[in-house]
Structure 1
Amino acid sequence: MFMLLHSYPEVVSNVNRNELGFLLKQTGVSILISSLNNIFAFCAGTILPIPALRSFCAQTAILLSVNLVGIFLIYPAFIALDLKRRKAGRRDLAFLAYYCLCMDESVGTVQHYQHQNNDNNGVTHQELINAKSDYECASPPYLPAELDKTVNSCKHPEVVYTQPKLNNVHQFERTRKRRQKKSYRMYTLQGFLHIVYIPLLKYTTFKIGVLLSAFGLFLLSLYGISHSTIGLELSDILPENSAPADFLKTRDRYFSFYPMSIVLHGEQIDFPARQHQIDLLRNEIGYSRFVVKLADGEPSERYWLQLFRDWLIGMQQRLDNAKIQFGDLNSANLTSSMIGNPDLQIAFSLACSYGENYDCDRVNFVRLIDESGTINSDGFYNYLYGWHEYEQMFYAVSQASFYPRLKKLRQGTPGNMKYRYFIPPAPKPLFSRIPFYLSGLHDTPTIMQMIHDIRSISENYTRMGLVNHPEGVPFTFWEQYLHLEYYLVVSIAIISLSVFCVITLIIFNPWAAGIVTLVVLSMTVELAGFMGLAHVKLNPISAVTLITAVGIGVEFTAHVVLAFLTSLGTRHERMEECLKHMFVPVIHGGMSTLLVII
């Protein structure tokens, strides 16, 4: 939009027809390149594995696409209405006084040359108007026949535009530029550009100094990147000096305590066959220096398979004692004993139940659990249901969280002794948890090390067939940082390739496209280095900033490159015309972007 605003008065003052087409021809390519690269930059941001940021980048890309359509369709429509007003002779009262002030300065210039030159060599009306056009600020274009009326309206009736005669048109142009330069104020953008910036850029030493400064800044940025840190603490997302933020900072400094669990995917696990492998998984995770342990080195929290196994050992001990007392066990000789001994009744029911079957003849030779701690595979799920039914407190302590949840058992009718104490098999737990507690997690690098250790163990057992994954606040909040640098590099590479391809396809100049891509990449490195020097942590939010910085950088770089390519003359002249045409809109666009971010 700033490109159109800045080029519109210039086009109107130099073109008498098809002004809108000439305006879009002059600025359309630059706007198209910058808008497309901005869109692709936010599309590349969707590569980051953060759902919220993916949604933000996708919505922003859609918004920029709509904005591109509006810039090329809606805004030119308003410009067309303004052109219609100008050609109809209706004045814009808001700028009339400003126009008269500008005309006063330009009229003085014309008077100076009219009184100074009286020979027969002159210029035409149109040449004089073109020479004067740089002084006009917000006025509509005027034909030579309308000049007398315009000057009279600005209270300069003594000036009459006849065909002036000058000895040298080039002398007129040089003097005009010199007077124009004097008219600029140092504190304005145009004044800084014409008085300071452009003259300095004509010196070779200044150019070398700029290049060396850019190279030094690039090296400093590499140093900053080497000292950058990764992370976003929980306290960073809360208002500074608030009570919750102070609490989290204190907790991280002195406690840094988090719960976690290993979730077993029961649908793909044969629990009876892999019960010892589950123990190995828990023990190996327990070796981590971040897991809270007891004095004997065991993890502080016992899990459901341990408690389940201990309970079955107790049940098997009761059956063994009954065998010593009664010999062969059957319903007849145990009926009176089970009345006063509910644990023996439960143990007998467990021994009789396996799968969907109820057979008490196997009580004398079957064992619920053997000496090695292996639970009987035939009745594993029946025993699991019995443990859940009769040891609700230990089930809650284990934090197993079986899913689907097990329902309360119902005994059969008293008259049907065969199925009175039958314990049906529990449905296979699709999900179950092994709890742990973590400590020593003071900062993001430490948490990332913990996640890497636990995740590597979990993935190793998953490859062996014991499908599982870690779960907890550290994994939910910080695991995204494990591959953040990889996704950041991939995103920047994709958007850089997009920048190169878009510019190459639109202007058919791979050399210019390569220079723009190189400059934008150096800007991205410098931004990342500044973040490291300013102790701004690298996190998904700052990663999106780096990715979109590529597209934003292209917006300004492409404008300058296109203006230079389309200018005529020597290198110095092309550079000067390029800066005259692009310096102000680029600064305006950059300042507006800065204000929006702030």
Structure 2
Amino acid sequence: MKKLYSITLMFVIWCSFTISTSFADYIHQEGYCVMHGHCGSKSFFGKELNCPHNKPAIEPDYDLRSKLVQICGSQYENSLTCCDANQLDDLNSSTKQVETLISTCPACWKNFLNFFCTLACSPNQSTFLNITSIGTSPITNLKIVTSVDFFVGETLGKGFYDSCKDIKFAATNGYVMDFIGGGAKNYHDMLAFLGQERPIGSPFQIDFPLNDTSDIMLPYDDPPKRCNDIDVKYRCSCVDCQSVCPVLEPTPEEKPPCLVGSLTCWAFGLYLTYFILLMAIVIRLFVEKFWNRNRFDREGFEPVALTEEEDTSLTQEHPSRRYALNLLLQDYFYQQGYMCAKYPWQTIGVAALIVFLATLGCSQFEVERDPVRLWVAPNSDSAMQKEFFDQNFGPFYRTQQIFISNINSGLSIINYNTIKKLFIIEREIRELKSFPDNHTLQDLCFRPNGDSCIVQSVTGYWQSDLDRFSKETWEEEFKSCTFAPTYCLPDFQQPLKPDMILGGFENEDYINAKALVLTYVLRNSLNQNEIDAAREWEKSLREYLDKLIGGENDKIDVSQLRITFSTESSLEAELNKSTNTDIYTIILSYLVMFFYASLALGNATLFPRTIIDSKFMLGISGIIIVLASVSTAVGIFSLLGIKVTLIIAEVIPFLVLAVGVDNIFILNHEFERLTLKSFGEVSVEERIAKTLGRMGPSILLSALSETIAFGLGGIVTMPAVRNFALYASLAVWVDFSLQVTAFVAFLSLDAKRQEEDRIDCFPCYRIERAPERIDKEGLLQKCMRKYYAPFVLNKKVRIVIVICFVGVFMTSLSFVPQVELGLDQRIALPFDSYLVDYFNDLDAYFRIGPPVYFVTKDFNVTKVDGQKSLCGRFSTCNQLSLANILEQERKRSNVSYIAEPTSVWIDDFFHWLNPSLEMCCRFKKGTDQKELCDEYDDDNDCEICFKDREPQWNITMSGMPQGEEFLKYLGLWLKSSPDESCPLAGKAAYGDAIVRDLEDITVKTSHFRTFHTPLKSQNDYIAAYHSAHRISELINEENPSIQVFPYSVFYIFFEQYEYIISLAAEIFFLAFVSIWFVTTLLLGSAWTGFIVVCHVIMIITNVLGIMALWGVSLNAISLVNLVICVGIGVEFCVHIARAFIVGGEGVDREERAYRSIVDVGSSVLSGITLTKFWGILVLAFTRSKIFEVYYFRMYVSMVISGAFHGLLLLPIILSLIGGEGVGSGEDFDYDVFEDEEMFGGRPIRSADNRMLVDDGGIESGESDAEEL
């Protein structure tokens, strides 16, 4: 390939210069030459150099003129010349090879040809060429030119460069300028590259002075052809010329965001709304206060205190209605509670049997670890597209990557010793054998062209051969190769761009790069045996690098180097290790919650009464019920073939514990209250029955709401979320069923044990002379009654609290759009994982984005209409063809995330057929056009494809093959290997990019490869995914005959973010509707059900706002946690709401709100808030970042938000606008405060409660408490 890449530099050998050391010594005027013919070479193996010849131009004979016109054009039909036949032969041979690269853009080709024809043959050569040095050929003893100055005008130079700079070399997703100009960024660099003397470049030095200070030389400055030339025969296609491309519509990403100052319009609107509401409330309060004061003054009335009876008659609501369903549920749970308490062992036995039978399904237990099956539904677009791609083109390669930098990150890594160490490391990796099957890199690597593995490393500039790496010349060679990678090809014969092998440099200052990048590419396969072999070698590679970094390699000292790495299987291995580490944190968290719950259920008394009144065993039984509900759900769904995920294993016990412990506390506290009132008068069975009769409907309400809400989540397609929703729904319902049966039985047994003075946990032992049982109100409940409830329900406090909560809600709502999407891989890893450093280096140093393939399927490209929908380099291609759209999108890479030119196989294929490219498509004569010639076959033994074809091959595509002929030539093209003479051959670049269907005479599928820009953040990956799909939709829209979809290896993991917001909205909507329906049905109040739903929405909103502020992104894990938040929110709210609705007959909202706090507030606080709080604290000390971010932060947020809304805001809202109350049966009267010994001999009625919430503030409430 080196010959091809250096061929453009050889044109200078056709030039002859006169010997001159100053302009005045020689003739520099029109009609004079400075060279003519060849006079020998510098060495025996060197190339022919030109003869100095400062004489008039010659008149060519007929044969020479014919050849001159044929090669250089009609401008030489009547002119003199400075070149001979040998020079023209060399010129023709070389330009034919260069034509394969640049003929796709006629303007560039014409300028290129004119430039070198003028250099070699112009009759006015002496006006722009000046010899600066000459030598003597040792072969011929003749004078030869060794260096010249070539004066080129800016108009020509800039126009020449502009016409060629955008021409693509599709096979490498690069530019032709990389080959003909060394990747030049302007015409000065392009010309300097062409003139640089080097062994594989120009045989002598050509300089291009920028300024001519003399009046003798006249720069060559003929008007060049433009790529958008008005002459259509020179006009280039959109792919190679930006000026002729169609203008695409702006994308939404290009539109500026709506801002008011530094605030988004959304946030500004919310804050403005809140300010208006706040001002309206303040104004109303002032007006109301002024009006009331003036009204009394005007009317002359004096407020007189009412008697209790008068006050009650005025403030009492209409007698509470009876709600039949409530009475029915109370009666049902009363009967069930009585039976379970009367026959506890039978109840426990039946429950245990059912749980045991269900748990047998765990024999089919499987954990789903494949991330593809976790996050993507099998019928999703990305999953089907990945399967289609893998089946037709093979799975994407397995990548192993190493970054090497200095311990001191500010120092350059480019030095002789470091690169030498890299040679040794690579050699040892090549010799590395896996255990136990002894696989080597050579066995497993990807080899697109011959036996050479793709290893992208700076050592490739020296063909990975340490003997070529010289201490004296390495730096110059490094600079030369990074400037022109095409001239320093590695053994796998593909250019190594500096961006691929170096990192941490600026402005192409490669010598000061901060990192070396080493990449190995292994084959991938659908065959599990091949995958296992690759994994085995990758494990050996990891072990080798671990020892190298750890200083265990005696051959190489890397103590001053920082090495980070990753293999294809590294992430999965580290994630599994993280899970194994986190299991201990999870277990400890659950144990803390279990221990707290067990202790909190009992009452603190003096020894030895403590060991009797404690309820540790009851707490353990409640925890066993929680575990039994989880195992039941796992057993049933395992039997149904629904696999457990790590999210389920880690989260479901947490959820069920949150729900279950709350219900346990509610039942236990209600039982304790009944015991305080009627101990010694009513049997345990009767008290248990009344307890379940009162609290059973409330527990049913929360359980049914959560079960339905979670169950509806099962309709979503994302497997991780769907499976979680199904498991959670069943586990919560089983937990409820066991609590109202088995736990009631345990509660009955524990109560009887306690009344018989038996020791907790050791019921066989009874304390004979135990102290008398002290029945008193619990401390938490007392605080709720005496201090918390009066304070919260004070009128002024209520106003302030409502204003604050609305403000917090509005603020949270303003932050919701700022919640980022994605899951950073670093967060999912242990904090000390070696991959964390690797990902940091990847972001800091790697400058190449992942490849992206635009795949066509079910499309007949053998017809001309289909060909026009794909191509980009022919005049009749559709203006918005696939190639043209992708090229235009590349030019706005800030929104398209497309960085490189696209490999368009059909353009290269058709140009390979071009008969003017005589070294490309050639058949061996006598083989019936079935066997191709290679570069070494004699021209006389070959016939050129399409040479005598009718219609002829042309740029309008009228002479292109179709149908069976198309497939015939396509097959030959895909078998031909690229070489110096024809780089357009398709085997290396497109061998696995096209799937032919010979039976149906079509191309079944093909892909068009390009590269994304470097993607650093999750937002970049999501935006790149979105952009690629937007582009494919545009292609399909503009070309209805084709079906295109984009594919990149990471797409399948990011599809969820295309719909995760709508998915979350769908789940929440269904959950909220189901919660409203169930609460309305069981409470008998649609309005109260609406209030509950509003509070759950506010809790979710607050959590989302905290996620935005605390750096918690939205993904499948956080979405599952948000679904949990719905359940936690219901737990915080529905018990308070039901206690408010069923709060006694004929009492106003304020008293029912007061009673709801006192009756169940303490249970909610101790049962769910404090239990979860202690368990969450443990998560703060986890080694896993994912637990710290997605569990600790989110759970803290949801528990705190839920507690504040359920225990603070909800009672206030209910006291202000709560729904109408309903009465309970006579056996379930909620007025438990009528006990004269406890509460001063009178019940708390409306008049008392009014005093608690009047304008007098907390003082009046406290005095009332003292009076009681």
Global fold match (TM > 0.5):
yes
- C-alpha distance in structure 2 between counterparts of 1:253 and 1:396, whole Å: 35
What secondary structure, in the 3-state scheme, does the structure 2 residue paired with 1:441 have? Answer: coil
Q: Which residue of 2 aligns with 1:310?
A: 911
- Please tell me whether residue 462 in structure 1 is matched to residue 1125 in structure 2: no
Residue in structure 1 matching 2:961, options 376, 387, 390: 376
CA contact under 8 A between 1:40 and 1:551: conserved in structure 2? Answer: no
Structure 1 residues 557 and 383 mapped into 2: Cα distance closer, same or farther (>3 Å)? same
Q: Which residue of 1 aligns with 2:806?
A: 215
Q: Which residue of 1 aligns with 2:1112?
A: 536
Q: Which residue of 1 aligns with 2:1170?
A: 591
Structure 1 residues 400 and 483 mapped into 2: Cα distance closer, same or farther (>3 Å)? farther
Q: Which residue of 2 aligns with 1:61?
A: 729
- Please tell me whether residue 284 in structure 1 is matched to residue 885 in structure 2: yes
Q: Which residue of 1 aligns with 2:1132?
A: 556
Q: Superposed, which structure 2 residues align to 1:315-394 within 5 Å?
A: 317=918, 341=937, 365=949, 370-373=954-957, 375-378=960-963, 379-391=965-977
Q: Superposed, which structure 2 residues align to 1:151-162 within 5 Å?
A: none
- C-alpha distance in structure 2 between counterparts of 1:332 and 1:228, whole Å: 67
Structure 1 residues 426 and 37 mapped into 2: Cα distance closer, same or farther (>3 Å)? same
CA shift digits 1:274-310 (9 cap, x unpaired):
12212321331232358889xxx99445343233223
What secondary structure, in the 3-state scheme, does the structure 1 residue paired with 2:992 have? Answer: coil
- Superposition deviation, residue 555 in structure 1: 1.5
Q: Residue type of the partner of 1:487?
A: L
CA contact under 8 A between 1:230 and 1:537: conserved in structure 2? Answer: yes
Q: Which residue of 2 aligns with 1:94?
A: 760
- Superposition deviation, residue 321 in structure 1: 9.5
CA shift digits 1:71-124 (9 cap, x unpaired):
2333234335446767xx744322988x96673xx5xxxxxxxxxxxxxxxxxx
- C-alpha distance in structure 2 between counterparts of 1:474 and 1:234, whole Å: 12
Q: Which residue of 1 aligns with 2:648?
A: none
- C-alpha distance in structure 2 between counterparts of 1:288 and 1:334, whole Å: 40
Structure 1 residues 239 and 430 mapped into 2: Cα distance closer, same or farther (>3 Å)? farther
CA contact under 8 A between 1:291 and 1:299: conserved in structure 2? Answer: no
- C-alpha distance in structure 2 between counterparts of 1:525 and 1:52, whole Å: 23
- C-alpha distance in structure 2 between counterparts of 1:465 and 1:589, whole Å: 60
CA contact under 8 A between 2:900 and 2:1012: conserved in structure 1? Answer: no
Q: Which residue of 2 aligns with 1:190?
A: 781
CA contact under 8 A between 1:38 and 1:551: conserved in structure 2? Answer: yes
CA contact under 8 A between 1:44 and 1:492: conserved in structure 2? Answer: no
Q: Residue type of the partner of 2:836?
A: A
- C-alpha distance in structure 2 between counterparts of 1:427 and 1:392, whole Å: 26
What secondary structure, in the 3-state scheme, does the structure 2 residue paired with 1:430 have? Answer: strand
Q: Which residue of 2 aligns with 1:8?
A: 671
- C-alpha distance in structure 1 between counterparts of 2:973 and 2:819, whole Å: 53
Q: Residue type of the partner of 2:796?
A: T
- C-alpha distance in structure 2 between counterparts of 1:61 and 1:447, whole Å: 33
- Superposition deviation, residue 433 in structure 1: 1.8
- C-alpha distance in structure 2 between counterparts of 1:316 and 1:51, whole Å: 55
Q: Residue type of the partner of 1:481?
A: Y
CA contact under 8 A between 2:822 and 2:1022: conserved in structure 1? Answer: no
- Please tell me whether residue 452 in structure 1 is matched to residue 452 in structure 2: no
- Superposition deviation, residue 557 in structure 1: 0.2
What secondary structure, in the 3-state scheme, does the structure 1 residue paired with 2:1053 have? Answer: helix
Structure 1 residues 199 and 371 mapped into 2: Cα distance closer, same or farther (>3 Å)? closer
What secondary structure, in the 3-state scheme, does the structure 2 residue paired with 1:483 have? Answer: helix
CA shift digits 1:376-422 (9 cap, x unpaired):
1131112222222334895454356357689xxxxxxxxxxxxxxxx
Q: Residue type of the partner of 1:39?
A: T
Return the structure number with greater strand share.
2
Alignment length (residue pairs): 478
- C-alpha distance in structure 1 between counterparts of 2:793 and 2:1130, whole Å: 25
Q: Superposed, which structure 2 residues align to 1:27-66 within 5 Å?
A: 27-46=695-714, 50-66=718-734
Q: Which residue of 1 aligns with 2:1232?
A: none
Q: Superposed, which structure 2 residues align to 1:250-269 within 5 Å?
A: 250-255=841-846, 257-269=848-860
Q: Residue type of the partner of 1:51?
A: P
Q: Residue type of the partner of 1:455?
A: H
CA contact under 8 A between 2:915 and 2:953: conserved in structure 1? Answer: no
- C-alpha distance in structure 1 between counterparts of 2:1162 and 2:909, whole Å: 76
- C-alpha distance in structure 1 between counterparts of 2:715 and 2:848, whole Å: 32
- C-alpha distance in structure 2 between counterparts of 1:56 and 1:342, whole Å: 70
Q: Which residue of 2 aligns with 1:443?
A: 1017
CA contact under 8 A between 1:290 and 1:440: conserved in structure 2? Answer: no
- Superposition deviation, residue 514 in structure 1: 0.8
Q: Residue type of the partner of 2:974?
A: H
CA shift digits 1:480-528 (9 cap, x unpaired):
2233222222222221111111111222210110110111111111111
Quick check: 497-506 or 226-235, which moved more? 226-235
Unmatched segments (≥5 aa) in structure 1: 107-133, 136-179, 323-328, 352-362, 407-423
CA contact under 8 A between 1:516 and 1:558: conserved in structure 2? Answer: yes
What secondary structure, in the 3-state scheme, does the structure 1 residue paired with 2:1011 have? Answer: strand
Q: Superposed, which structure 2 residues align to 1:369-448 within 5 Å?
A: 370-373=954-957, 375-378=960-963, 379-391=965-977, 395=986, 397-399=988-990, 401-402=992-993, 428-448=1002-1022
CA contact under 8 A between 1:4 and 1:23: conserved in structure 2? Answer: yes
- Please tell me whether residue 274 in structure 1 is matched to residue 940 in structure 2: no
Q: Residue type of the partner of 2:707?
A: I
What secondary structure, in the 3-state scheme, does the structure 1 residue paired with 2:1046 have? Answer: strand
TM-score for both structures, normalised by structure 2: 0.34
Q: Which residue of 1 aligns with 2:185?
A: none
- Superposition deviation, residue 311 in structure 1: 2.7
- C-alpha distance in structure 2 between counterparts of 1:480 and 1:290, whole Å: 28
Q: Residue type of the partner of 2:1097?
A: L
- C-alpha distance in structure 2 between counterparts of 1:344 and 1:227, whole Å: 71
- C-alpha distance in structure 2 between counterparts of 1:219 and 1:67, whole Å: 36
CA contact under 8 A between 2:996 and 2:1004: conserved in structure 1? Answer: no
- C-alpha distance in structure 2 between counterparts of 1:547 and 1:334, whole Å: 67
Quick check: 557-566 or 44-53, which moved more? 44-53
Structure 1 residues 446 and 573 mapped into 2: Cα distance closer, same or farther (>3 Å)? same
Structure 1 residues 458 and 515 mapped into 2: Cα distance closer, same or farther (>3 Å)? same
What secondary structure, in the 3-state scheme, does the structure 2 residue paired with 1:235 have? Answer: coil
- Superposition deviation, residue 33 in structure 1: 1.9
- C-alpha distance in structure 1 between counterparts of 2:841 and 2:1135, whole Å: 50
Structure 1 residues 542 and 269 mapped into 2: Cα distance closer, same or farther (>3 Å)? farther
- C-alpha distance in structure 1 between counterparts of 2:1069 and 2:987, whole Å: 51
Q: Which residue of 2 aligns with 1:579?
A: 1157
CA contact under 8 A between 2:925 and 2:941: conserved in structure 1? Answer: no
Q: Residue type of the partner of 1:520?
A: V
Quick check: 265-274 or 554-563, which moved more? 265-274
- Please tell me whether residue 240 in structure 1 is matched to residue 908 in structure 2: no
What secondary structure, in the 3-state scheme, does the structure 1 residue paired with 2:850 have? Answer: strand
CA contact under 8 A between 1:221 and 1:530: conserved in structure 2? Answer: yes
CA contact under 8 A between 1:402 and 1:432: conserved in structure 2? Answer: yes
CA contact under 8 A between 1:292 and 1:299: conserved in structure 2? Answer: no
CA contact under 8 A between 2:977 and 2:988: conserved in structure 1? Answer: no
What secondary structure, in the 3-state scheme, does the structure 2 residue paired with 1:231 have? Answer: coil
Residue in structure 2 matching 1:201, options 787, 792, 795: 792
Structure 1 residues 59 and 480 mapped into 2: Cα distance closer, same or farther (>3 Å)? same
Q: Which residue of 2 aligns with 1:503?
A: 1079
- C-alpha distance in structure 1 between counterparts of 2:1151 and 2:770, whole Å: 31
